[in-house]
Amino acid sequence: MVKRLSYLLFACFMLSLTSVFGQDTARTVTEAVQQQNTETGPVNEFFRSNAKIYVPMGILVIIFIAIVLYLVRLDRRLTKLEKE
Amino acid sequence: MAKNWWKIACVLILLYVIIGGFSVKVPSIGNNQQAARSIFFHLPMWMCMYTLLAISVVNSVWYLATNDLRRDIRASSAGSIGVLFGMMGFATGMLWSTYTWGGTIVNDPKQMTTAIALTIYMAYLVLRLSFTDLDKRARVSAIFNVFAFALLIPLTYIIPRMVESLHPGSATSPGFSSQDTAGTIKMVLWPAFLGWTLLGIWIYTLRNRYKRLVLKNILHG
């Protein structure tokens, strides 16, 4: 009984949390859309130049580096297994 | 480390290709516009597929000559990674054609014959799964692989060059000869061929080593 009640309370707590955070994120998103990132500096200006084409380029570089790191780790593990 | 220099070279070349592919100036022709940059990633997939499937068929023939099961493992690993790259090439081509040719699968002969060739290679991979006896599997699939490669080249390379096609390098459209391609594109495209092919070979060697570990007891017993 106590267990069930605590589950119910926990569920209510989580639900209230989502509504609170839901409102907050919604507001943050609208605010973010309204006020664009206007920070200056060479890096920011580079990524904003040429209709922001360098943003997807950076995304591809990140994905590629992650895949390569995974391959390197797999390679090392195989080498270790082969030596056994 | 000394044996792995080509993996480092592959990563450096591909970083150059990704950064260069988005940065160089490409001529904006027709409705291709900036989608022309897709060539740095779409075309190398096919070059990588050809290389891996050639490795696969060479090892299949080698198996038939020597009956060495390690050759069969090489052939199957190269075959499956080759099909993976072929499917990536097909998927990227589908996205590209949706926004330039006006359809995901259009009546383009190269797209159709490539689909047929890829299906034949998928049949090769399915055929391998249908055997329980290792030697029988190796022999039958090696023979199938020779026929599959003998179909791949005419289907994806010769026929599309003889008929009208939307792809470059057909009977009615220019290919990639020295006069037709902008210098900036070639500056990135040739390294892209090398880099993506090396990446494919790297993944193939990893799969090959894994499969050899799985069959270790049979190979050395």
pLDDT exceeds cutoff 60 at A46: yes
Measure in Å the smallest separation between the Cα of B113 and chain A Cα atoms: 30
Contact assessment for residue B47 and residue B82, using Cβ atoms and an 8 Å cutoff: no
- pLDDT of B12 reads 96
Domain residue spans of chain A: 1-35, 41-84
Q: Which residues contact B81 (CB under 8 A, 6 or more apart)?
A: B52, B200, B203, B204, B207
Query: What one-character-per-residue DSSP string does B47-66 give?
Result: HHHHHHHHHHHHHHHHHHHH
A-B CB pairs within 8 A amount to 35
Interface test with A, best of B22, B84, B207, B215 (most A CBs within 10 A): B22
Tokens of B20: 């260069």
Q: Which residues contact B207 (CB under 8 A, 6 or more apart)?
A: B77, B80, B81
pLDDT exceeds cutoff 60 at B221: no
- pLDDT of A39 reads 77
Label residue A33 by pLDDT band (50, 70, 90).
low
What tens digit of pLDDT does each residue of B82-137 get? Answer: 999 999 999 999 999 998 888 888 888 999 999 999 999 999 999 999 999 999 99
Tokens of B42: 């779409």
- pLDDT of B78 reads 97
Label residue B179 by pLDDT band (50, 70, 90).
low
Nearest Cβ partner for B213 among A54, A64, A81: A81
Tokens of B149: 């490669």
For domain B2-216, give its CATH number from 1.20.1260, 3.30.70, 1.10.3470, 1.20.120. Answer: 1.20.120
Tokens of B81: 């990674």
CA–CA separation, B167 vs A15, rounded Å? 55
Q: Does A84 touch chain B (CB under 8 A)?
A: no
CA–CA separation, A70 vs A24, rounded Å? 36
**A81/B202 touch (CB, cutoff 8 Å), yes or no:** no
Q: B-side interface with A, Cβ within 8 Å? A: 4, 7, 11, 14-15, 18-19, 21-23, 34, 202-203, 206, 209-210, 213
Going by the DSSP 8-state scheme, the letter that residue A60 receives in this structure is H
Share of chain B above pLDDT 90, in %: 68
Q: How many helices (H) and strands (E) does chain A have?
A: 3, 0
Tokens of A77: 């593990």
Q: What are phi and psi of A81, to 5 degrees?
A: -65, -40
What tens digit of pLDDT does each residue of A1-28 get? Answer: 667 777 777 777 777 666 665 556 667 6
CA–CA separation, B219 vs B213, rounded Å? 9
Label residue B218 by pLDDT band (50, 70, 90).
confident
- pLDDT of B46 reads 95
What tens digit of pLDDT does each residue of B52-67 get? Answer: 999 999 999 999 999 9
**A64/B19 touch (CB, cutoff 8 Å), yes or no:** no
What tens digit of pLDDT does each residue of A50-62 get? Answer: 878 888 888 899 9
- pLDDT of B161 reads 85
CA–CA separation, B151 vs B3, rounded Å? 35
Residues A30-55, mean pLDDT to the nearest whole number: 78
Residues B177-198, mean pLDDT to the nearest whole number: 85
Domain residue spans of chain B: 2-216
